[in-house]
Structure 1
Amino acid sequence: MKRKNKIIMILIFWTAVVCVLHRLGLVTTDLNKINAIIGNNPIKMRCLFVFLSTVRVVFFIPQTIFIICGSMIFGPYEGFILSVVSLAISQSIMYVVGRFFQKQLLGEEFLEKNKENLAIIKKHGYKVLALGIACPVTPSDLITVLAASIKLNYKKCILVTVMADAPMIFLYGFLGNGLQNTFIFKVFAVLAIAFVSYYTFYIWNRIKAS
């Protein structure tokens, strides 16, 4: 798919999301209003959040955006659970794409372009998968696709993905408005995310260079 077409699809997706949220009355900065709407139909709102947080993989949208939004709307703890559920579903989709439809949907060029990363995952297996998922600056969706391409076990892949990303999801949750009066925890979350980003990226580069 050409870059121009990808941009158009992403714009259409975001326009549709804004329209849905506007219709539901969620295009507002008034958290009291948002909470009132959620309280009226809690199941629908949570299902909508999980759905949007899952289909974002089709449009190459980082999950971090939805993690922070989930924390703002549902609170850090419930937002964490919903984000983990959507993570498991979205990465299952990427696994299926990488395992069974890599040539049809991604093409030979994709595999050739990422042959170096494929070789690393083949050599180090689930350890590199966990590292790639935990590192905020690496594309976790791509890592899952590559892991599936070399036929790593599905259950182990999803388990490793959830376990590796869960701490980061929890930290990102502190950046939302769910914990408005705990500024110190937000500072801690930012520092922790920065440290994990640096450390995992450093280890990833060392593995690639070895």
Structure 2
Amino acid sequence: MADQDGPQRSDQPAGGSPADETQVNPDEGQGRGRMRYQDDSTTPREPTLAEKRARVAAEKRQEEQARAELAEQERKTQVRRRVMVGGGVTVGVVALVAAFYSGSAYRAEQTAVQEFCATGQGPATVQNPDLCDENYVQSHGGYSSGGMFFMPIFLPGGGFGGYNSYRYGYTQPGTTAPPVGQPVSNPSFTKPAGTNITNTKGQTVQRGGFGINSKSGSSGS
């Protein structure tokens, strides 16, 4: 029969061993290079005790830092408030002191009087201040008594003509004495207390409230 004598057909490739339909990769199925994904149906893993403690510690640190920042902000606010209050108090005190001294200076100026040397008789006329200086009077043969200064009168022919008397007078508060030889309106011959007194030389005879006499030789009665 032809089937026995002719070449027999074979499904195997020539020169090869019997082959399977597919070649199997020995690495296949071992998981190399493959990624696994977790879908929504996967149950989250419960955190470990160490992770829970770390999370609690981190939250505690954040809370402490927030408290520290708040405390520092409050401290700075208090410092600024104290500086502002202190500055306001300082400005207020300075203004008060300045107003006090300004007012005191104004009152002192309005109540100050001037001491001048005047004639002892008749209308008060301004004289040379040396005639009311005890040292000057004594050095020129005169003397002082009871707040009056007496200077000898020498006549042109060399005779003695008696004494001229002089005394201290005081102007009204806030006024000054006129020049030598001029009369003074409403003078006082009693030294006022508690006020500033200057003489016609510009020297301070008495400071207000102290009643201190200068070396000008004031009688001060």
Ranked by relative contact order (alpha carbons within 8 Å, sequence separation 6 or more), the top structure is 1
**Higher strand proportion:** 2
TM-score, length basis structure 2: 0.20
TM-score by length of structure 1 reads 0.21
Structure that is richer in helix per residue: 1
